[in-house]
Amino acid sequence: MKFYPYKIIFMISIIGCLASNVIYSQEMDKKETNDSNPLSSFERLIGGEWHLQGNYQTFAWGVGKLSVKSESYFIVGGEPQKAAEGIWFWHPKERKIKGYFTAINMPVELFDYTTVFEDNTMKSEIKSYSSNGIEDKYIETWEFTDDNSFEWSLFSKSMDGEKKVMGGKFIRSVDSSGSK
C-alpha cells in the first residue's frame, strides 16, 4: 500500500473543520440558551434569604436553569417552619412562565401562578385553591427597589375590581462576607 501524506493531511483538515464547526455550534447554542432563557429575570432572587415580618423565602435554580425553586418559612418559637414550596418554569406550549406551589397551615393549599417581568417588576396572576376546591384570584407584584429588596403587594380580584389585601418590603439577608 502506497503512503499518500497529502491525503492524511487533507483528512485531518476536514476532521478539524468539522470538529471546530460542531464546537462553535454548541457554544452558540449555549449562548443562545443563556441569552434567551425566559427565566433569566429570576437571577436577582437567587441566593440568601428574603425576609418580611417573621417569615422568609429562598430561591434556587433548578437543573439547567430550566426552573426556579422556592421555599417559604414562618418563624415559630424562634425556629423556621416550612410553610410552602414550589417551582416556576417556562411552559413551552403556553409560552408563559408558570408556577405551582403547595402550602400547609394556611387557608390555601395550591397556588397556580402565571408570571411576567416588566422592567423592575415581577407581576403574577394567581389562582389559589383551598382544600375543598374553592378558587380565589389575585394579582401579586414584586417591585425591585435594589439588589437586596423588593416591595411586595397582593391584590384580590373580584367583580368589583382589585383590592390590596397584603404587602410589605422583603429584604435579602447577606452573610458577614457580603455574599448573597
pLDDT in tens, the chain (180 residues): 554 444 444 444 544 444 444 334 344 444 444 458 999 999 999 999 999 999 999 999 999 999 999 999 999 999 999 999 999 999 999 999 999 999 999 999 999 999 999 999 999 999 999 999 999 999 999 999 999 999 999 999 988 889 999 999 999 997 544 455
Q: Determine the pLDDT at residue 158.
A: 87
Q: What is the structure's pLDDT at 180?
A: 54
Instruction: Tell the residue number behind the cell numbers 407584584, with chain if given.
Output: 141
Provide the grid cell at 24.
Answer: 462553535
In this structure, the dihedral spanned by the alpha carbons of residues 116, 164, 72 and 119, taken in order and rounded to 10 degrees, is 30
Give the C-alpha separation, 66 to 171, whole Å: 25
Closest CA to 70 of 56, 87, 45: 87
Query: What is the reported pLDDT for 109?
Result: 96
Please tell me whether residue 97 adopts helix, strand or coil conformation.
strand
